[in-house]
Chains A and B, each alone.
Chain A
């Protein structure tokens, strides 16, 4: 025997946890403390069975807190006070003595808490918590109805199992409806809580400037930047984000006044769908180099950089078409002076090296080869520690330490190239990506942020050069493919689940709905009924036959009338026709009918039939024949 009350209490605490856990990281300290205290004190008091604080006291005590949070509420700080208040209210309910009403309040407050956690973050774990909460809430509601009937009720384990099964069946029965309604229910095109959708700023490997010598160490962040759905490509992947076209002091920046140029993209395109994580960047990334990016209000600059007018912060995927050959052919000429511009502060050692290169070759191609040779033979090393700092960081890197990360390589290369008279620009983006075979997409994280250069070769166009690849240890860093360990594979599986969630739930909006509808329409148009029928006819018929036979077998007593029942019906029909007595089987007995009709043939029938039925035996063959003959001849035969 299991008493119900402790079971309901435990269920309520688990339900409350389902609401608290996802919200907890986003709460302020005060509501956090409240929740922890309320939960533990509630459990302790439930075990003790005594509640020194009455509910009305608790309710009254949070009124000042409510006023405090109400005062904090404003258009710009709308969520935190509300969420904090929710948490405090839940904590108070957990703390107090609980009747059925209070359990219901705990359930709804937990649901609100879980829902409000989605204002901060919508991860797939939300689905997990929601499912758990709904299942447990349904279960607890069923138990509460029993408890409302008798608060000290105990159930035997068999009854309890049945009650639990019924409680679990309720939400499970609603699941098909969920699948049906999900694509249908109205969606907004824009996120409901735009203000919140911008995530907390985080350190980014990809920024709007490249500055060498800022710090001696560069952190590594494995934070996801975007996922790109495309088939696996054999070559090293460069994800082009932005172009830095002007050096001001130590810093490469992007000059918004990009000189006009006409890039001619190849016709061999790689199509990809990019799912960026929400970030503060306006740049749209794509495989180098994107001929086209289809997104709302996207703006393309002449140098092939795609930007959004605003930081949206919402998850929005876009499709990109790239022609990836490491070369951007340009039709006509470019503004060479713009891409040769260098500030006065470029050190003399760099200028003299550049002058030497300029003297030894007179074409862009020739000078580029010399530059590449300089880097390739210069014993440069790629590293993220012990970086040169300060004003002369670049000079130190080029001539002394010869150790740096991609920004040093790219920046050094670009400065030298410009000084040597070769138009050059820096390109910021990402290099590489982990391919997720399960989901069929590349995962690109912050640590893959990279900077390389594009060098203009007259008559050809912009050539992509990655100076970091000239480092002596570049092969060790980019060439080796890590073996796919169990952990990594597991991570990939989890990530593909995350991706599927983002793809099909978070970014599922009106557009996708319309797309689904259009697909359905197309599919219906292309639907050839006969073809489908032909292919499924046989299995369908077989299935129908099996189901039909099973139904008939299980309901045979109801469906198929026994010979006796057929006889009986025939008898009543005969009596109605021949003797004019309308009666239903079951309402007027056989002998009654014989009595009423006064017909000896009816009497005979009743005698024979009843003698079998009321003696619990079957009619013998002879009896059946006699009865059938009686029915056939009728009760008033023409004698």
Chain B
């Protein structure tokens, strides 16, 4: 298989993360890697204390990518993220001090605590992959992935992200509680935060970039799968419970994520299962339900819709 070299590096990284360091977080890690490979960003939405930050740290250190972190608060300013120009008295000029966003993997912790103004500045940077400060445009490093975390929005003092900005995240997922015995083990051993710095990187940035290129160029998306994705998107648009169905961007992202998922499975073509595997994480946060059904579980709804579409074979 052509993808083998890049594939080996990435899967080895994933295996080492899951097996050694972050037991019980396989699904989140897999989705994070998918986001990384597809060139998207991931939003992890769960209660505090379930290991969101740990996941981000572990991912960064195991890939050997640089890591930046922004802890969002309501008084956080855009320049706190992007960086700012400072006057160097010794040199007699202004020089640009890059902010934490100039890293390969950026953790935006509790993004919904930041003001909308700051949120939108960050999201713009995510979309454009560059930052303009005082008239000078600075390109962000490649690969670049934002790993945002968010507490469920019913907590006080938060600015929930609007749908248009949620749409910019390739994947939105929860973490969930670890299985009972694993949790007991974690309780017994304590957290792994302090050990994260000791994680040796398994894949390099070059590996990640190569894998990204492979995902984008060599994983084949059949016309049948395009039809399947289109049928899926179309089905959400005429569903009784859904006010606004999936956008074309959602469909593009679904295809990208499916390619990355197929790559992780070691295939050079996308199978319907790849789409099915990522559809809930890629699409659920983009659905706008009718007000009367707002409490419904979007992931469940999506799975129902998917079950109603005939797989291409």
Do chains A and B stick together as partners?
yes
Q: Which of B224, B273, B311 is the one whose CB lies under 8 Å from A616?
A: B224
How distant is B254 from chain A, measured CB to nearest CB, in Å?
16
B273 in contact with A614 (CB, 8 Å): no
Q: Which of A585, A592, A610 is the one whose CB lies under 8 Å from B269?
A: A610
How distant is A352 from chain B, measured CB to nearest CB, in Å?
112
Q: A587-B307, A590-B271, A592-B273 are in contact. Are A613 and B220 (CB under 8 A)?
A: no
- Chain B CB within 8 A of A586 CB: yes
How distant is B35 from chain A, measured CB to nearest CB, in Å?
22
A614 in contact with B311 (CB, 8 Å): no
- Complex Cα distance A119/B272, Å? 72
Q: A610-B269, A615-B269 are in contact. Are A589 and B311 (CB under 8 A)?
A: yes
Question: Which residue from chain A places its CB closest to the CB of B308 in the assembled complex?
Answer: A587
Q: Which of A611, A613, A615 is the one whose CB lies under 8 Å from B313?
A: A613
How distant is B293 from chain A, measured CB to nearest CB, in Å?
25
- Chain B CB within 8 A of A493 CB: no
How distant is B253 from chain A, measured CB to nearest CB, in Å?
20
The contact string, 1 if C-beta is below 8 Å from chain A, for chain B 168-190, is 00000000000000000000000
B310 in contact with A614 (CB, 8 Å): no
Could you say which residues of chain A place their CB within 8 Å of the CB of B270?
614
How distant is B223 from chain A, measured CB to nearest CB, in Å?
6
Q: A587-B307, A587-B311, A589-B271 are in contact. Are A613 and B224 (CB under 8 A)?
A: yes
- Complex Cα distance A310/B265, Å? 101
The contact string, 1 if C-beta is below 8 Å from chain B, for chain A 561-596, is 000000010000000000000000111111110000
A615 in contact with B220 (CB, 8 Å): yes
- Chain A CB within 8 A of B280 CB: no
Interface core residue of B223, B307, B313 (most chain A CB under 10 Å)? B313
Q: Which of A585, A588, A591 is the one whose CB lies under 8 Å from B271?
A: A591
The contact string, 1 if C-beta is below 8 Å from chain A, for chain B 185-210, is 00000000000000000000000000
- Complex Cα distance A614/B224, Å? 7
B311 in contact with A611 (CB, 8 Å): no
How distant is B265 from chain A, measured CB to nearest CB, in Å?
8
- Complex Cα distance A568/B270, Å? 18
Could you say which residues of chain B place their CB within 8 Å of the CB of A613?
222, 224, 312-313
How distant is A302 from chain B, measured CB to nearest CB, in Å?
90
- Chain A CB within 8 A of B30 CB: no
- Chain A CB within 8 A of B213 CB: no
Q: Which of B220, B276, B307 is the one whose CB lies under 8 Å from A614?
A: B220
- Chain A CB within 8 A of B225 CB: yes
The contact string, 1 if C-beta is below 8 Å from chain A, for chain B 104-128, is 0000000000000000000000000
Number of B residues near A (Cβ < 8 Å) is 19
- Complex Cα distance A590/B265, Å? 14
Could you say which residues of chain B place their CB within 8 Å of the CB of A586?
310-311, 313
Question: Which residue from chain B places its CB closest to the CB of A592 in the assembled complex?
Answer: B273
- Complex Cα distance A614/B269, Å? 6
Could you say which residues of chain A place their CB within 8 Å of the CB of B271?
589-591, 610, 614
How distant is A202 from chain B, measured CB to nearest CB, in Å?
71
A589 in contact with B273 (CB, 8 Å): yes
Could you say which residues of chain A place their CB within 8 Å of the CB of B268?
615
Could you say which residues of chain A place their CB within 8 Å of the CB of B307?
587
- Complex Cα distance A430/B271, Å? 94
- Complex Cα distance A149/B267, Å? 53
A587 in contact with B269 (CB, 8 Å): no
Q: A613-B224, A615-B222 are in contact. Are A591 and B311 (CB under 8 A)?
A: no
* Residues 282 to 313 of chain B near chain A (Cβ within 8 Å): 307, 310-313
- Complex Cα distance A587/B312, Å? 9
Question: Which residue from chain B places its CB closest to the CB of A591 in the assembled complex?
Answer: B273
Q: A610-B269, A614-B271 are in contact. Are A568 and B222 (CB under 8 A)?
A: no
- Complex Cα distance A588/B272, Å? 10
How distant is A541 from chain B, measured CB to nearest CB, in Å?
38
B269 in contact with A590 (CB, 8 Å): no
- Complex Cα distance A568/B276, Å? 20
Q: A610-B269, A610-B271, A614-B270 are in contact. Are A590 and B224 (CB under 8 A)?
A: no
Going nearest first, the 7 A-B pairs with the smallest beta carbon separation are A586-B310, A589-B273, A614-B269, A591-B273, A614-B222, A615-B269, A589-B272
13 A–B pairs (Cβ distance < 8 Å), ordered by A: A585-B313, A586-B311, A590-B313, A591-B265, A592-B276, A611-B269, A613-B313, A614-B220, A614-B222, A614-B225, A614-B270, A615-B220, A616-B222
Interface residues of B (CB under 8 A from A): 220, 222-225, 265, 267-273, 276, 307, 310-313
In addition to A585-B313, A614-B224, 19 A-B residue pairs with Cβ atoms within 8 Å of each other are A586-B310, A586-B311, A586-B313, A587-B307, A588-B311, A589-B271, A589-B272, A590-B313, A610-B269, A610-B271, A611-B267, A611-B269, A613-B222, A614-B222, A614-B225, A614-B269, A615-B268, A616-B220, A616-B224
